[in-house]
A and B are shown apart, each in its own frame.
Chain A
């Protein structure tokens, strides 16, 4: 047992080193565009994992992720923009004097983005989590739209529909992937704690969970708030990646994309979400080809249709739900236990064949 623990520890270190090496290589050999896509994938990995905590592990059908991202993105944007560019950008109505001269360093601003989103999650969760299933989905979707509309209309704070530009840019692969890895580690840690067990029990059967003495509402609110925190964090990172935010970015379609990642990767699988985040983000770029005008063997000519990518992803989602409902990973995780088990079995089989 101890030996196995040590093997796993070493494997973990090796794995992290390999990832670090990969990031190092990417940082020096990929062009700006490719790095940007990979950074976006890291953000989607954070989003996927955090929605999976809420949807896959606690069983709450929440569609509010875009709203929480919006909160996180605006928080960090307002806090980190230089007073000079604020004075230029807020030309419809001047910025609220309290915010005009603030300029925070990036790290605390991004963290505060997450914390503000968590506060919103807590406040929204309080009434909304009394609902279940589809009703909860509709309520959270509604709240997410309400956030967007508030942001559009509080012009002295958010500059309304014009959005914000000149947000300090972060380009390094390290920052985004470090954030993604930390998110994964934290959520994994939570899932292996008594909270995590309570979440899964609630997902499986609320009545039985309550009969075990689990405080259902408290744990749902906890899971929802943690999910909102990481969504806010991802939103904040996104603001620094794109360097501009406006309310239309955080429409429902965005939540749908995160949902696609969770379902594709497997509800209840952290590693599944990460893999799916990579596939979907990179796929979205690669599939830009299908939006170009196409000529199929001179027989059919397809004009360039923007949105074809979404059609392909919708079909993909449909196929997954029809034929492979558990997603790439189901509720399984890619971890060392699983791998070592496979290896042992392979060894056994080889020995069996040799004998």
Chain B
């Protein structure tokens, strides 16, 4: 579904991605793990053209989307859940969800999807009229995910959805990711919580300072000695 071919990205003088190639097949969960500064977020932002790609190419459903406008990329069905719960803090929960459906026009369908989100995340229903900035961290993350789903993505990219959440909530987030996948959405997941991410992913890539150093089926990587030593904190 998504194919990245040898992309390079520079941030000012920093060579952030030094030629990364990866593939996300349809109806799979693929994860990108690695230490801070390895280039995980940069990869996602390059797909959305929030950072310019200096060489290489990105294909979505065999169409070249390299350096296309962000809006056009999103209209093709790619949605990004940005890092750090970037909800709209001064809008209500309902308005946040409506913003998620910004590129859609069928009001009845949108209303139906909002109800669906309330089914998946009952807490959001309780807080429908509350200003989103006053939600707890976990609720905000749920809202960010629900909002992303409101655009009916075919392909969802998530940037560290479990960052800074309590262990119980992390579990909840991963349950939701699984649910979303089961509804037919292809997922590219970035996680610092490598153990949990590799457990649910079909395939994983390990990133190190702008290079892919290892790849393989998620469960194999989870037990790989090198990965365990480097990222899972187990000797």
List residues of chain A with CB under 8 Å of any chain B CB.
194, 197-198, 200-201, 203-205, 207-215, 268, 331
- Interfacial chain B residues near A214, Cβ < 8 Å: 71, 99, 102
- Interfacial chain B residues near A200, Cβ < 8 Å: 88, 90-91, 95
16 contacts between A and B (CB under 8 A): A194-B102, A197-B98, A197-B102, A198-B102, A200-B95, A201-B91, A204-B89, A207-B50, A208-B86, A208-B144, A209-B99, A211-B80, A213-B74, A213-B102, A213-B103, A214-B71
Cα distance A131–B147 when bound, in Å? 28
In the assembled complex, the CB of A227 is this many whole angstroms from the nearest CB of chain B, namely: 19
- Interfacial chain A residues near B80, Cβ < 8 Å: 211
List residues of chain B with CB under 8 Å of any chain A CB.
48, 50, 70-71, 74-75, 79-82, 86-91, 95, 98-100, 102-103, 144, 147-148, 151
- Tally the A-B contacts, defined by beta carbons under 8 Å: 67
Cα distance A205–B80 when bound, in Å? 14
With A198-B102, A201-B99 as known contacts, state yes or no: A212 contacts B74, CB within 8 Å.
Answer: yes
Known A210-B48, A210-B71, A212-B74; 11 more pairs at CB < 8 Å: A194-B102, A197-B102, A200-B95, A201-B91, A201-B102, A207-B50, A207-B86, A212-B147, A213-B70, A213-B151, A215-B71
In the assembled complex, the CB of A215 is this many whole angstroms from the nearest CB of chain B, namely: 5
- Interfacial chain B residues near A198, Cβ < 8 Å: 102
Whether the Cβ atoms of B102 and A207 lie closer than 8 Å is no
* Cβ 8 A contact of A201, one of B79, B81, B88: B88
Whether the Cβ atoms of A210 and B91 lie closer than 8 Å is no
Whether the Cβ atoms of B95 and A197 lie closer than 8 Å is yes
Whether the Cβ atoms of B90 and A203 lie closer than 8 Å is yes
Cα distance A212–B91 when bound, in Å? 14
- Interfacial chain B residues near A207, Cβ < 8 Å: 50, 82, 86
| Nearest B-chain residue to A200, judged by Cβ | B91
Whether the Cβ atoms of B99 and A212 lie closer than 8 Å is yes
- Interfacial chain A residues near B48, Cβ < 8 Å: 210-211
| Nearest A-chain residue to B147, judged by Cβ | A212
| Nearest B-chain residue to A59, judged by Cβ | B90
| Nearest B-chain residue to A208, judged by Cβ | B86
Whether the Cβ atoms of A208 and B102 lie closer than 8 Å is no
Whether the Cβ atoms of B70 and A210 lie closer than 8 Å is yes
